Amino acid sequence: LCNIHDYRHAEALEKSYLTPESAVAAEPANRSVYVPGYGYRGEPILITEFGGIAFSGEENGTEGWGYSTVADIEGFLESYESLIEALVRSEPIQGFCYTQLTDVEQEINGLLAYDRKPKVDPARVREINEKAS
């Protein structure tokens, strides 16, 4: 498997993952997808970490960081939807995994808070996922 971690915004994801060639040439966080001496041989390409959306301020009662920030629930859902749609439209991407399910210590970029309570209505997340698939 070719596993890629990419926390860039939806437009960058859409542009990078148009073809298998552009996908493996992408350099998220200025890092090559493959280490020297290895390269793409037709294996499935997966985005195994993306998103990382955090609320700005202390809306969820914790301090920490995320790969991107939004001011409110609607902003979160808009960002989440744009990321999901970009990856679903990508032909070479065979699957993806949002980072992360829950907040942990200093990272507040999960779908659930540290206490495992949803930050946004799970039905809205499901609606976005089903609409995009």
Mean pLDDT by 10 residues, the chain (133 residues): 97 96 95 95 96 78 81 96 96 95 91 94 96 86
Give the Cα-Cα-Cα angle 107, 108, 111 (nearest 5 degrees): 125
Predicted pLDDT at 51? 96
Dmax over CA atoms of the chain, in Å, equals 46
Q: State the pLDDT at residue 62.
A: 60
**DSSP letters for 1-43:** -EEEE----HHHHHHHTSSHHHHHH--GGG--SS-TT----SP
SS3 content of the chain, % helix, strand, coil (to 5): 35, 25, 45
Contact predicate 98/111, CB 8 Å:
yes
Alpha-carbon distance of 122 to 113, in angstroms, equals 13
Give pLDDT, residue 84: 97
pLDDT for 58 equals: 55
- At 133 the pLDDT is 80
The pLDDT tens digits for 111-125 are: 999 999 999 999 999
Using CA of residue 71, residue 129, residue 111, residue 60, what is the dihedral sign?
positive
As a whole number of angstroms, the distance between CA 25 and CA 110 comes to: 28
Query: Residue 35: which residues within 8 A CB-CB, separation 6 or more?
Result: none
- Segment holding 50, helix H or strand E: strand 45-51
